[in-house]
Structure 1
Amino acid sequence: MSDTVLIEKVLEGNDHAFRLLVEKYRNDVFRTVFAVLRDQKEAEDAAQEVFMKVYTSLSHYENQGFKTWITRIAVNHAIDVKRKQARRREDVVDALDQQALGSPKDSVEKVVIAEDQRRLVQKKLNEVPENYREVIYGFYIAEKSYQQMAKEQNVQVKTIETKLYRARNWMKRNWKEDDFS
């Protein structure tokens, strides 16, 4: 059955037709989302959310290439998820900063210095290649164990160890101690 026929049936209320569309495109959607998120569990969740968006937006589809349309939805959704993850990381860093700052009685100078250091660390962290950034953040800032990070990223502990080793080597090659003062 063609996509056009299936879409018409879905719009008429045939849920089975939508299941057929999901079956036909689920691998494409998953691969697209995974390419952006690089995390299997996050990609699985995002792929399901993409299909919910497709279902609710199907009445707006204008018969101009269904696969292209669904892929565009998948990419946009994956980018949104990635942005939310980044915001969550920033919130964690901000919360850690608040803890580190201590009581309001602390001097203004201490607060300003801590804020400058936070900005500098965030800037330097953004310089790190993306494939290392997550392990550096997880281990040094969020203080997660290798096991926690391996579980979250759905990889072996050895993979986390290797990434962290390579990330440290990258930092040794590209950063100087003076960069942080």
Structure 2
Amino acid sequence: MHNEKEIIERILSGDAESFRYIVDEYKNLVFSICLNMTRDWFEAENLTQEIFIKAYNSLSAYRFMGLKTWISRIAVNKCIDNNRRRAKRLEELTSPDDMPEFYIEGESLVEEHLIQEEEKETIIKLCESLPQIYSSVIKEYFLHSKSIRKIAAEGGLNEKTVETRLYRAVKMLSNKWKEAQNEAL
């Protein structure tokens, strides 16, 4: 079932489960685009889900001109829209009347970048603190953009085992992230 046209026709005829193939095939690509454009791990995860929902709902408009390109374009456009909304919210929250006199133009962007870099380092450290069977899977999947199938093949594992480890790793990472945020307060 690797024929793009056949898969899409099956989805459009009501076989929603066939969409799983598209998600499995392109989720690393979409997540990478989102992470590169937002520099925020958790926002990238949320956007990735929204992008696949949008792709599913827009599938009837797809013209069989390269599924990878089409999904990538949806991802880029969604991230651009998200960044615009985020910038607008930031602008509304930081109107010049609310700024202290010592505020330097662009300082908030530098600060935001530093915070994002700090968060990225924290996430990597938290990944490394996970048990090895989980840290290796999460790094291969998210940092190296490998598919579950490829991770399973390289590790001599069953795909379901990799999926389970990845699910548990994300859950553990999320809990560790929350703990780290609470400790920072």
Q: Report the TM-score, using the length of structure 2 for normalisation.
A: 0.57
Name the aligned partner's letter for residue 134 of structure 1. E
In structure 1, the partner of 2:112 is 134
Q: Deviations over 1:74-106 (max 9, x none)?
A: 000011111111112112113971xx7xxxxxx
Q: Deviations over 1:145-176 (max 9, x none)?
A: x9xx95xx45429x9xxxxxxxxxxxxxxxxx
Q: Deviations over 1:26-64 (max 9, x none)?
A: 001111111111111000000100001101100000010
In structure 2, the partner of 1:42 is 43
Candidates 101, 110, 122, aligned match of 1:156: 122
Name the aligned partner's letter for residue 83 of structure 1. R
After TM superposition, where is structure 1 displaced by more than 3 Å over at least 4 residues in a row? none
Question: Taking every aligned residue pair, what percent have the same amino acid on both sides?
Answer: 35
Instruction: Mark the CA change 1:70 to 1:91 in structure 2 (over 3 Å): closer, same or farther.
Output: same
SS in structure 2 at match of 1:156 = helix
Whether 2:9 is the aligned partner of 1:8: answer yes
SS in structure 1 at match of 2:94 = helix
For structure 2, list consecutive stretches of 5 or more residues without a partner in the other structure.
126-185
| CA distance in structure 2 between the partners assigned to 1:44 and 1:69 by the alignment | 19
Instruction: Mark the CA change 1:37 to 1:95 in structure 2 (over 3 Å): closer, same or farther.
Output: same
| CA distance in structure 2 between the partners assigned to 1:96 and 1:40 by the alignment | 32
Q: Is the 8 A contact 1:33 1:46 kept in 2?
A: yes
| CA distance in structure 1 between the partners assigned to 2:22 and 2:88 by the alignment | 33
Q: Computing the radius of gyration over CA atoms, which structure comes out larger, 1 or 2?
A: 1
Instruction: Mark the CA change 1:96 to 1:15 in structure 2 (over 3 Å): closer, same or farther.
Output: farther
Q: Is the 8 A contact 1:46 1:78 kept in 2?
A: yes
For structure 1, list consecutive stretches of 5 or more residues without a partner in the other structure.
101-113, 139-145, 160-181
Structure with more contact order per residue of length (Cα contacts < 8 Å, sep ≥ 6): 2
In structure 1, the partner of 2:76 is 75
Q: CA deviation at 1:2?
A: 1.6
Q: Report the TM-score, using the length of structure 1 for normalisation.
A: 0.58
Name the aligned partner's letter for residue 122 of structure 2. Q
| CA distance in structure 1 between the partners assigned to 2:113 and 2:79 by the alignment | 20
Count of residue pairs the alignment pairs up = 123
SS in structure 1 at match of 2:14 = coil
RMSD: 3.1
Name the aligned partner's letter for residue 63 of structure 1. F
Q: Is the 8 A contact 1:41 1:154 kept in 2?
A: no
Name the aligned partner's letter for residue 33 of structure 1. C
